[in-house]
Structure 1
Amino acid sequence: MRRPVSFGTILVALLAGVGATASPAHAATTELFVNNTVSCSDAGPGSAAQPFCTLSASAAAVTAGQTVRVTGSYAEHLTIGKSGTAGSPVTFRPAVDGDTSWVALTGTNAGITVSGQHDVTIIGFQIQGVPTGTTVDVANSTRVTIERIELAALDSGVSAAATAGVRLASVTDSALRSIRIKRDVRPAIAMDAATSGVVVTSAYVRVNDGSLHPGGIEILGPHNSVVRSVVYYSVDTGILVGAGATGTVLASDYVTGALGTAIDNAGASGTAITNNNVANPCSTGIRVSGASTGVSVQNNVVYSNDANPNGCDPAATGVGVGVYDAAVSGTTVDYNIVEPRTGKSLYAWTTPVASLEAFRAVSGQGAHDLDSTDPDARIDSGNSAAPGRQLDYFGKFPVDDPDVPNTGSGPITYADRGARELTRTPSAVLALTQRPGSEVTADASGSRPGWLPITSYTFDFGDGTVVTQATPVAHHTFTVRGEHAVQLTVKDDNGDLNTGAKKFITDGDGYVPVSPVRVLDTRAKIGVDTTTPVAPGGTVTLQVAGANGLPADGVTSVTMNVTVTEPTANGFLSVYPDGQSLPNASNLNWTPGLTVPNLVVVSVVNGKVDFHNTSPGTVHVVADLVGYHSSAGGSVFAPLGPVRVLDTRERIGIPTTTPIAPGGTLTLQVTGGNGVPATGVTAVTMNVTVTQPAANGFLTVYPDGQALPNASNLNWTPGLTAPNLVVVPVVNGKVAFHNTSPGTVHVVADLVGYYTTAGNGAVFHAQSPYRALDTRSGPSGNPVGPGDLYELGVGGLSPDGATAVVLNVTVTEPKDFGFLTVTGDFRQEKPNASNLNWRPGQTVPNLVVVPLNPENGRVRFYNTSSGSVHIVADVVGFYSR
């Protein structure tokens, strides 16, 4: 892959014979401002703090070397009566740089006039409405540049007597770039006998109906003029170079849809028609006629597969490239591509000929011309030494396609034919990694170059911060928490670029594990003032932030193992942020006399959480704090599996099949295997199930080597199989399971993720509980059948990057024994893991942390029972990178 670093020098040499000059270098300028959308004054200094209100005031105040930056729309005619100097022009442009910014001029008087001035630059003006008279008029002036001007007056107000859209009279060294004319004109661009050294490059001439009006751009005697990026609608001739004009260059232009001839060199001499794209002319694509001499027609692409484009007269004679009259002497035609058109002639040499071969035979021209419709034929096959050659329509250098042989000629053998240099743009691949809080790492390392190396990466973080750098990784900390969109732009060595974007939210929090500590027990005056159970319909408010070792600030949610005991009637418990509306969600369900635990993750508001008893009877509530999420930072979460890491029945995690003895403790190594790293792990999340218990009891899961806490994770009665989600700190890479029962019990543990302070992971986004699934609701109210799969798309999550969701899942009305497996892994039919176990007729809840399917953000519920069951799922939060 090569970049022709000397191409600018080559262009200067190639253009020397046609009188083209390079644009003068602009010195640094001071700035004036015009903005009628804020507090402004025409009597003021024209500063950014107090801008002018009108363009006329700025035009009267501007001096050589100053730039007038304009914001807004103006019902004015901009008349520039001041001059700059060579290298320090007077400049008028939009306040914001860029190809999409414009200043609008409106009304019947809209337009621009430069008369008797020199060294003037005008950029980015859009002339709207239906102005009368010449819209852009440059007369008796030198070194004038007009770039990106759009004339948006449509044909509704233009009569056959309308004057030119753009008029240049007696001007020298003028440059018109990016002119857009949307009014009916004929021809679009015209140069008369007095012109010399005019360059029209990167023009876009689009024409499409039969209205005929005076010239769109009328050039009366300028010297060394440049016209770039021009759009015309509804014209008879796209570009007309009149008899007597000399040294004209038409290069890298798009001309499409002319009713007559797209490019017409009618008697002009020394014209270079180079690297243009011509499409759908009714008559001739490129025509050279009259007393023209020394004309070069090279590297052009003339194409149309339409026999009757633009409503042309079917009887019209159509020719791709035609040379007539005395012009056959001294005209060079080569390196063009003329695509066949049904019923039309490819060429004419005084008279039309039927084929490229016939044209070569009668003219001796076109040795390297092609009659191909293959778009790749233009790649790396042009003549870089063709007279008048410019950079391409977009200002690009030639680029070598490594997969195409270089068959061109001149100093650069891989220059393309046509107005556009074909390149392969780089890919833009953006990955976002968020640490707890509002810091994000934007990584574009996955981006790949096209045919040239990537030279810059621009990261727009959407909050006003834009970073452009040569390396692919950038870091940024947002000052406002919430949803943000980050956009990446990669640019290669030739200015070709591509973009990519991702959205994410910055209210993610880190996890801080703690050794289990009892923070609420209504039986023992822990967290409350009495030993009174929670009354029917009653609510208990618990202060969690600033108590029990938790900080007063930054706590966004807490993780607790909540147990209900001694209930006197059926019911359920809702745990939710303090002071908010009671959600349609449940955390624990019970029947009279049953002791039920469940892990709860709940948002903290005002430093508190609420416990609401929906039962008609009383109930005692116990809560053991195991950790909290903080906006100040903490560990990040890495979801897994689920992966079975312990089963005392199957020698998984231990060398025997012996159950845990009464009062016994089992130690499990959790780091360094099963996808968990050996270092940096602060806590693990497991779905723990006890089965085959021989007596009443409860299980405590806690950090290895620490004192047995006054806390429980699972409670059971003999013969019961009971699961519960457990989040437990890791010490020495291990966790401990303690059986408080006087009988033995088997324990099963399925690892669903871990928290770490090292490497990449996901941060937590707490939400007020909302119901995402209830198979009892809806028109059908169908339960999940025996052995069936239910798939759920979880809404309300981050637009990009959600990796796992936290659900409180409840099964109810089961017809038979069974268990439920919840997974986001679609690669296997069903993992060897369970989340909830039940007996017929039992209502069982459990908290579930499940990785989302990365392709569609969905989770699956597998009913392994031989009977049907209803499933309820409440979203309480999610993790995202």
Structure 2
Amino acid sequence: MVFGALALPALGPVSAIAAPTDLYVDNHPAAKCADHGTGLQSAPFCTIQEAADIVLPGQTVHVKAGSYNEQVKLTRSGTAEAPITFIGGEDKLSPDWTYAQLVNPDWQHPYLHTLTITGAQHLVISGFDAGPAQQENVLVDNSSDITLMRGGAQAYSTIEPDGIRVTNGSSKVTVGRYRMGGMQIDHASGTVLTTSEVGSVMATASPGTVLVSNNVRTGCHDGLVLAGASTGATVENNVIDTDTMSYPPKPCGADTNHTGIRVYTDSATGTKADYNVVSPLSGGPAYDWADQSYDAQAPFTTATGQGAHDFVANPYPTSTPDKPSISPIIDSADENAPGMLPVDLGGRSASDDPVAPDSGTGSGFRDRGAWEYYGFGSVYTPAGPTRLLDTRDGIGTVKSGHSLDLQVAGVGGVPATGVTAVTLNVTVTDPTAPGFLTVYPHGRPLPTASNLNWTAGTTIANLVTVPVVDGKVSFYAGGPAGSVNVVADLAGYYGSKGSVFTSAGPTRLLDTRGATKLSQGGDTVDLQVAGVKGIPAQGVTAVTLNVTAVKPDSGGFLTVFPHGQARPKASNLNWNSGQTIANLVTVPVVDGKVSFYAGGPAGAVDILADIAGYYSADGYDTYRADGPWRLMDTRIDMEYRASGAPTRKAAPVPAGGTLVVDLGEMPEPYAVTLNVTVTRPTAPGFLTVYPHGTDRPLASNLNWVAGQTIPNQVVVPVKDHKISLYNGSTGPVDMVVDLFGFQQ
């Protein structure tokens, strides 16, 4: 009676019970499934086949993620307006997919497929992984308007291809977001394979085949093959690699067939091939078109008119600081190709690599192949200096043990969305007790890190580059009971559009000692930076400088700002009479110059400026806002995370000594952004941070007097995955190093 109610058409508005919209399959013990149940969520079927035998047009069968020991045959049809849908598992971002796994209990039988669709129409199947079979794991036979999405059909046997076969007059079959050993299409029309990882594809007597945005890796077999009058095909946006699948890649033997794209003469009519990337590493031809082989793109395009936007190149080139490279896959696909999906194999939308040219169609930044590349960071837009926070303007001081949240997205020229980090010059003033300030991403746990340290009554500044979460950053005041005023001036922000950072130095650009000091209260010095000490003469948008004020006659401050612009209400350095103090400054460049203004009571001050890097349209490094994380604290035992690096026992860095910091498990960075603090010095001195394995430069990042605790942000190139910190003092000093991000 239950099956009759489900299967029979409605007899009238009152006398019949409508079929349910959803059926359920769940073989987990807690589900208490029934072999001949209703298929409702409260009493699910135990097997997929039970649901497949009764499902009606418009119904959806929900299959709980897990393993199902069965072969499944689908024969029932939906309609164009009311297709039958099977959904297995959950569609999460890769690699966190959850499938309904079909495990063939009789996989050694030579003629049994794990999933068979035969004589059916208007089906949508999503989220199934078809297990081993001696022939193809999935067979689509004499069926039309079939969609297979988000699944797997991996290789388990010796025959090729052995993932999915579409055959026997099937039409309009779409396979997308699949991982499979191979795909065979024969005597079918309008088959689409899109956004999948596949071992190889062979289409025979199958006109209108569409092969788009797939990663094809064959292991010394042909990649994509059209034969037997498979005319009118489209082959676009694929990444094809026919090498040995070893690492490093090795050429294939001379007796193997390992052509990237092979189109026989009887299939060339009306067929289009373009926007593909074919690896040459197998040693075989990139193309065989109408019985003519081609090793390179140019002669292939000249002879056939095809592949005008193809690349015959290594799809995954390596990049180093000395030899940067961008994969031809990135931001270069034909977004208008037929069969394109809105997401990649993992379910992610297109992402614009900020340093790759947008050379594709449509948005211009879809990637070729099945995967969108996300392994890049952000680029920088200089802005300001613009004051975003001054607790003296009605907000009130920040009390020790409390945090203050600051909205930065959508404020002061910062975009409302897409901001990954901001660079702020942060100043604390009027502290009533000793303490420290930590600037960190909003909503995250308070890290073991600090950006500023002070004693009662001190005014001190530091540059901070901090990740942005929910459009905000947070400020935490630590230390004994007390309070402090906080001022934050925007220097710039990171996002998907902007300038690329190139590390340089540290190299001295300015030293007024021995020349004329800056008179406080009126003097401005203009510094030429473009075209100096390795900085390009054109195209520089901003520079990062470590600026030091040396032995001022009286208390005062320094403002570094874009040349030719009005001096802003902001400061980068504050000092007391006779104090030598440094701060990192990132400032926009106008007319190739930046300007320095010394303010305060009557007096004069010497200024040093050391280049740490510059921003421009050229370059390959992007910034990963990461942290803050503590890399080193010489006051405690520190265990390096890098393989083979020993634990460093607690001990200060001796006079004239160098501390080498291993960057642990961090992926090979080209430069790092750090907050470095020196504490408990026994004598005056200075700190120089520089790339490991290089000569120590004539530059400094920090200056101190005995007993002082003082921090500074440092941007330094990386060599050998390490950095060096030199103690330029006659006494020992402890050092604390916190990571805020890195360039790669």
TM-score bin (small chain):
0.5 to 0.7
Distance in 1 separating the partners of 2:516 and 2:161: 82
2:676–2:713 CA contact under 8 A, matched in 1: yes
Which residue, 828, 837, 852 being the options, matches 2:703? 837
2:655–2:727 CA contact under 8 A, matched in 1: yes
Q: Deviations over 1:614-637 (max 9, x none)?
A: 12211111111111112x311110
Matches within 5 A, 1:445-464: 455=295
Rate the CA distance shift 1:836–1:43 in 2: closer, same or farther, 3 A: same
Matches within 5 A, 1:525-540: 525=394, 528=395, 532-540=396-404
Please say if 1:804 is aligned against 2:658: no
Q: Tell me the CA shift for residue 518 of structure 1.
A: 1.2
Matches within 5 A, 1:90-489: 101-103=155-157, 123=160, 394=256, 455=295, 469-471=311-313, 474-477=328-331, 479=348
Q: Tell me the CA shift for residue 77 of structure 1.
A: 14
2:112–2:134 CA contact under 8 A, matched in 1: no
| 1:578 counterpart letter in structure 2 | H
Distance in 2 separating the partners of 1:58 and 1:785: 72
Indicate the residue corresponding to 1:769 in structure 2.
Answer: 628
RMSD across aligned C-alpha pairs, in angstroms? 4.3
Matches within 5 A, 1:695-714: 695-714=554-573
Distance in 2 separating the partners of 1:754 and 1:803: 14
Rate the CA distance shift 1:394–1:728 in 2: closer, same or farther, 3 A: same
Name the SS for the 1:103 alignment partner.
Answer: coil
Indicate the residue corresponding to 1:73 in structure 2.
Answer: 132
Name the SS for the 2:483 alignment partner.
Answer: coil
Indicate the residue corresponding to 1:494 in structure 2.
Answer: none
Name the SS for the 1:864 alignment partner.
Answer: strand
Rate the CA distance shift 1:591–1:76 in 2: closer, same or farther, 3 A: closer
Distance in 2 separating the partners of 1:694 and 1:444: 67
Indicate the residue corresponding to 1:719 in structure 2.
Answer: 578
Indicate the residue corresponding to 2:483 in structure 1.
Answer: 618
1:643–1:750 CA contact under 8 A, matched in 2: yes
Indicate the residue corresponding to 1:688 in structure 2.
Answer: 547
Q: Tell me the CA shift for residue 123 of structure 1.
A: 4.6
Please say if 1:600 is aligned against 2:464: yes
2:70–2:103 CA contact under 8 A, matched in 1: no
Name the SS for the 1:708 alignment partner.
Answer: coil
Matches within 5 A, 1:851-870: 851-853=717-719, 856-870=720-734
Q: Tell me the CA shift for residue 40 of structure 1.
A: 3.0
Rate the CA distance shift 1:42–1:597 in 2: closer, same or farther, 3 A: closer
Q: Tell me the CA shift for residue 74 of structure 1.
A: 4.3
Rate the CA distance shift 1:72–1:814 in 2: closer, same or farther, 3 A: same
Which residue, 780, 788, 802 being the options, matches 2:657? 788
Distance in 2 separating the partners of 1:37 and 1:687: 66
Distance in 2 separating the partners of 1:535 and 1:568: 10
Which residue, 571, 574, 585 being the options, matches 2:438? 574
Return the TM-score normalized by structure 1. Answer: 0.47
Which residue, 711, 714, 736 being the options, matches 1:848? 714
Q: Tell me the CA shift for residue 469 of structure 1.
A: 3.5
Rate the CA distance shift 1:618–1:468 in 2: closer, same or farther, 3 A: same
Name the SS for the 2:401 alignment partner.
Answer: coil
Which residue, 754, 758, 774 being the options, matches 2:614? 754
Distance in 1 separating the partners of 2:454 and 2:435: 6
Indicate the residue corresponding to 1:513 in structure 2.
Answer: 382
Please say if 1:671 is aligned against 2:530: yes
Q: Tell me the CA shift for residue 577 of structure 1.
A: 1.2
Rate the CA distance shift 1:452–1:624 in 2: closer, same or farther, 3 A: same
| 2:156 counterpart letter in structure 1 | W
Which residue, 588, 608, 615 being the options, matches 1:729? 588
1:36–1:71 CA contact under 8 A, matched in 2: no
Q: Tell me the CA shift for residue 396 of structure 1.
A: 9.3
Distance in 2 separating the partners of 1:543 and 1:125: 55
Moved more, 506-515 or 708-717: 506-515
Matches within 5 A, 1:46-85: 56=111, 72-74=131-133
Please say if 1:41 is aligned against 2:73: yes
Q: Deviations over 1:104-147 (max 9, x none)?
A: 8xxxxxxxxxxxxxxxxx65789xxxxxxxxxxxxxxxxxxxxx
Q: Deviations over 1:21-49 (max 9, x none)?
A: xxxxxxxxxxxxxx99898317579xx99
Q: Tell me the CA shift for residue 557 of structure 1.
A: 1.2
Q: Deviations over 1:481-516 (max 9, x none)?
A: 9999xxxxxxxxxxxxxxxxxx98535111111121
Q: Tell me the CA shift for residue 567 of structure 1.
A: 1.1
Indicate the residue corresponding to 1:658 in structure 2.
Answer: 516
Return the TM-score normalized by structure 2. Answer: 0.55
| 2:422 counterpart letter in structure 1 | V
1:562–1:624 CA contact under 8 A, matched in 2: yes
Q: Tell me the CA shift for residue 823 of structure 1.
A: 0.9
Q: Deviations over 1:737-760 (max 9, x none)?
A: 00113211110000010111x222
| 1:539 counterpart letter in structure 2 | S
Rate the CA distance shift 1:509–1:396 in 2: closer, same or farther, 3 A: closer
Name the SS for the 1:600 alignment partner.
Answer: strand
Rate the CA distance shift 1:49–1:551 in 2: closer, same or farther, 3 A: closer
Please say if 1:818 is aligned against 2:685: yes
Rate the CA distance shift 1:123–1:849 in 2: closer, same or farther, 3 A: closer
Rate the CA distance shift 1:584–1:77 in 2: closer, same or farther, 3 A: closer
Rate the CA distance shift 1:444–1:592 in 2: closer, same or farther, 3 A: farther
Q: Tell me the CA shift for residue 826 of structure 1.
A: 2.1
Indicate the residue corresponding to 2:356 in structure 1.
Answer: none
2:113–2:133 CA contact under 8 A, matched in 1: no
Distance in 2 separating the partners of 1:584 and 1:849: 20
1:523–1:533 CA contact under 8 A, matched in 2: yes
Distance in 1 separating the partners of 2:458 and 2:506: 29
Please say if 1:524 is aligned against 2:382: no
Distance in 2 separating the partners of 1:517 and 1:609: 16
1:522–1:620 CA contact under 8 A, matched in 2: yes
Rate the CA distance shift 1:597–1:392 in 2: closer, same or farther, 3 A: closer
Which residue, 484, 493, 497 being the options, matches 1:628? 493
Q: Deviations over 1:660-708 (max 9, x none)?
A: 1232000001111211112221110000001021111000000000011
| 1:660 counterpart letter in structure 2 | L
Name the SS for the 1:746 alignment partner.
Answer: strand
Gaps of 5+ in 2: 1-66, 78-83, 87-101, 119-128, 138-150, 164-180, 182-252, 260-274, 287-293, 298-308, 315-326, 332-343, 354-371, 638-647
| 2:375 counterpart letter in structure 1 | T
Q: Tell me the CA shift for residue 538 of structure 1.
A: 2.0
| 1:770 counterpart letter in structure 2 | W
Distance in 2 separating the partners of 1:824 and 1:790: 12
Distance in 2 separating the partners of 1:598 and 1:753: 17
Identical positions, percent: 42
2:427–2:461 CA contact under 8 A, matched in 1: yes
Indicate the residue corresponding to 1:554 in structure 2.
Answer: 418
| 1:607 counterpart letter in structure 2 | G
Q: Tell me the CA shift for residue 73 of structure 1.
A: 2.5
Distance in 1 separating the partners of 2:136 and 2:494: 62
| 1:551 counterpart letter in structure 2 | P
Rate the CA distance shift 1:766–1:76 in 2: closer, same or farther, 3 A: closer
Name the SS for the 2:707 alignment partner.
Answer: coil
